[in-house]
Structure 1
Amino acid sequence: MRVAVHFNPEKNNAPECAGKVCEILLGDGAEVSVSPVYKERFSKYSGIEFAELTDSVFDSDFVIAIGGDGTMLRCAKKLIGCNAKMIGVNTGRLGFMASLEADCLEKLLDLKSGNFEITERMMLHGIVYDEDKKYEFDALNDINISGMYSKICDFGVYSGSYQLGSYRADGIIFSTPTGSTAYALSAGGPVIEPDLECIEMNLVCPHSLFSRAMLFSPERTLTVACKSSSEESPLYMSFDGESPIKISSKNKIEISKSRYKIPFVDFYSKNAFHESLSKKLMQSIK
């Protein structure tokens, strides 16, 4: 069993937690790799290998990301096209994507026995057409289009040639079920079980009395037309919160289900997501 360990050194206790993870896995006979950036810190663990995650992910059975949701999100996208399975260990605040909390690391011993389940999580695929070029991206959480400085924008959303709606808002969010507990939740969207498949659309601060979230079939391809973009008030498109790209009314934008999925390890019951959701959301409002 080969395991790649990745952690966010800026998160509280993440380096210490990574050390404990390595101890547990090495003691169980696993082959463990960590980034060579941390060679000095982890050289005390006998048998550990040092390799960049972008390389080790291809021959690993599991990838363990230690930190918050952002760490897990960035790490999970490196699994695209690989056979490795994702395990998140939360040392951040909420950790909706986490398989384990930092005080439950002994559950990692279940990896060898196969005492766990796999949840396949869908991704979104976005294409930006710019004259004779196109830019393609995959997102595990969401695709967001918005202006700067809270400037209101006009959006048209189409399915084929049929216009589904015309909207005025600060922005528009397309999210996966995994992303339904992220930006989409703050925009008033519903919570969706992560193993369902659908495309969720939410408006950010809509200029309307009757705006609601919409759910689309995962087989539907949506096209977005940005009607109010200009050089004076440009729009920006972001995938999973990464650096945005500038778009204009000349760009055609398509959003659909990605052909890739990310397999997440689940150590607990079928109700683990709901238990985690209730516990963490209640904590966040205390």
Structure 2
Amino acid sequence: MAKVGIVYHPQRESARSKAAELESWLEERHHCAVYMGESGADDSLDLVVSLGGDGTMLRAIDKILPSPIPVLGVNFGSLGYLTECDPDGLFGALQQFFAGDYQVEERMTLSIDVEKNEATIDSALTQAILQKHFVALNDLVIEKLDSGHVIRVDVMFNSREFLTYEADGLILSSPTGSTAYSFSAGGPVVSPRMRAMVLTPISPHMLFDRSLVLEPDETVELKMAEGPPAAIMVDGSRKLVVEHGDVVTCSANHTTARLVTFADRDFHQIMKKKFGLQSKRMGD
């Protein structure tokens, strides 16, 4: 008997309906279905099924990390870059999984630590408020709160000063996240099988406006300089606000996200399909 976690998009009726159908299908075959709430994952789960789009996949992975539970993504969204099958193929995919006919693709994640400057908060607050830890599959984003002002961020690599960015924000993405917000901001596409980090400025108000591809063993420190506060976004979810003196430290995480697949995924062909690049020549 297998224990299967279910995460579905709460605003999609089709995903909710498929979740109920999946629960019945599993119970008929003497498996255990578990709806995953906000408390996170049970380490005894054999599989997590995500019913939604890429956003639902990110929520599912956030719930289970650092547990090495594989995730099967079912696409109910428009892009579905991280998902493996469509709703009609779900039960066939599960039959293959239970038969052992599947592969697991490991994706690098980001380890993120936020340290609040003690001078900016009430000293009565506990150390748990001063320091926060997050894990991201796609990206970390530091983004301005006010439309009329840029933020200023001192960037350091391995504790060495690099540059003070003046921009609408900064994106630090994993290879998986290089096709998400970073791509929209002009960043490069990086193969998801690589281990690397990509630093991309958002609308920089400075001469240097290029992305940087960093080694996975580098540590990136982002310290808020004098100026307006900013929001911290982890995989598209707003976590907290940072102000002058607050430091965000990011590095490659030792824990990977594990995505279920049923064939060798050709990254370049998937990219062509998802971005509508079917012609051999751009513009056709």
TM range (shorter): 0.7 to 0.9
Q: Where in structure 2 are there 5+ consecutive unaligned residues?
A: 119-129, 278-282
Rounded Cα–Cα distance in structure 2 between residues aligned with 1:82 and 1:53: 16
Alignment match of 2:264 (pick from 266, 269, 278): 269
1:244 aligns to what SS in structure 2? strand
- Aligned residue among 132, 142, 145 for 2:142: 145
Say if 1:252 and 1:15 are closer, same or farther in 2 by CA, change over 3 A: closer
Query: What code does the residue aligned with 1:280 have?
Result: K
Question: For the Cα contact (< 8 Å) 1:57–1:78, is it kept in 2?
Answer: no
**Structure-2 change in CA distance of 1:33 and 1:84 (3 Å):** same
Cα RMSD for the two superposed structures: 2.3
Instruction: Report the Cα offset of residue 250 of structure 1.
Output: 1.3
Matched ranges for 1:93-112 at <5 A = 93-105=78-90, 106-112=92-98
SS at match of 1:180: helix
Give the Cα separation in 2 of the matches to 1:268 and 1:221: 34
Identity %: 30
Cα distance 1:189–1:7, how it changes in 2: closer, same or farther (>3 A)? same
Question: Which region of structure 1 is more displaced relative to structure 2, 187-196 or 159-168?
Answer: 159-168
Cα distance, 1:258–1:61 mapped onto 2, change above 3 Å: same
| 1:247/1:34 CA distance change after superposition, 3 Å | same
Shift in alpha-carbon separation, 1:24–1:196, aligned structure 2, 3 A: farther
Paired position in structure 1 for 2:121: none
Give the counterpart letter for 1:141 in structure 2: N
Check whether the contact 2:229–2:244 (CA below 8 A) recurs between aligned residues: no
Question: In the superposition, relative to structure 1, how do residues 159 and 101 fare at CA in structure 2: closer, same or farther (>3 Å)?
Answer: same
Q: Which residue identity lines up with residue 164 of structure 1 in the other structure?
A: F
Of residues 29, 49, 61, the one that matches 1:64 is 49
Which residue number corresponds to residue 43 of structure 1? none
Aligned-partner SS, 1:128 = strand
1:135 to 2:132 alignment = yes
Q: Deviations over 1:233-258 (max 9, x none)?
A: 32221211222311112112211112
Q: How far apart are the structure 2 equivalents of 1:53 and 1:109?
A: 28
Closer, same or farther: CA 53–191 of 1 in aligned 2, 3 Å: same
Q: Is the 8 A contact 1:2 1:32 kept in 2?
A: yes
**Any conservation in 1 of the 2:50–2:57 contact (CA below 8 Å)?**
yes
Q: Deviations over 1:35-76 (max 9, x none)?
A: 3xxxxxxxxxxxxxxx75746632111000100111110111
Distance (whole Å) between structure 1 residues aligned to residue 258 and residue 103 of structure 2: 10
Cα contact 1:3–1:30 (8 A) shared by 2 = no
Q: Structure 2 length normalisation: TM-score?
A: 0.84
* Alpha-carbon contact 1:157-1:225 (below 8 Å) kept: yes
Write the distance in 2 (CA, Å) between the matches of 1:130 and 1:111: 44
Q: 1:240 aligns with which of 235, 242, 245?
A: 235
Q: 1:182 to 1:82 in 2, by over 3 A?
A: same
1:187 to 173, 182, 185: 185
**How far apart are the structure 2 equivalents of 1:228 and 1:252?**
13
Match in the other structure for 1:280: 274
* 8 Å Cα contact 2:141-2:170 kept in structure 1: yes
Q: Which amino acid aligns with 1:101?
A: D
Change (3 A) 1:143 1:101: same
Residue number in structure 2 paired with 1:32? 32
CA distance in 2, matches of 1:210, 1:247: 24
The 1:53–1:146 alpha-carbon spacing in structure 2 relative to 1, beyond 3 Å, is closer
Q: How many residues align?
A: 264
Query: Aligned partners of 2:37 and 2:207: how far apart in 1?
Result: 50
Q: Is the 8 A contact 1:143 1:239 kept in 2?
A: yes
For 2:255, the equivalent position in structure 1 comes to: 260
How far off is 1:131 after superposition? 4.0
5+ residue gaps, structure 1:
36-50
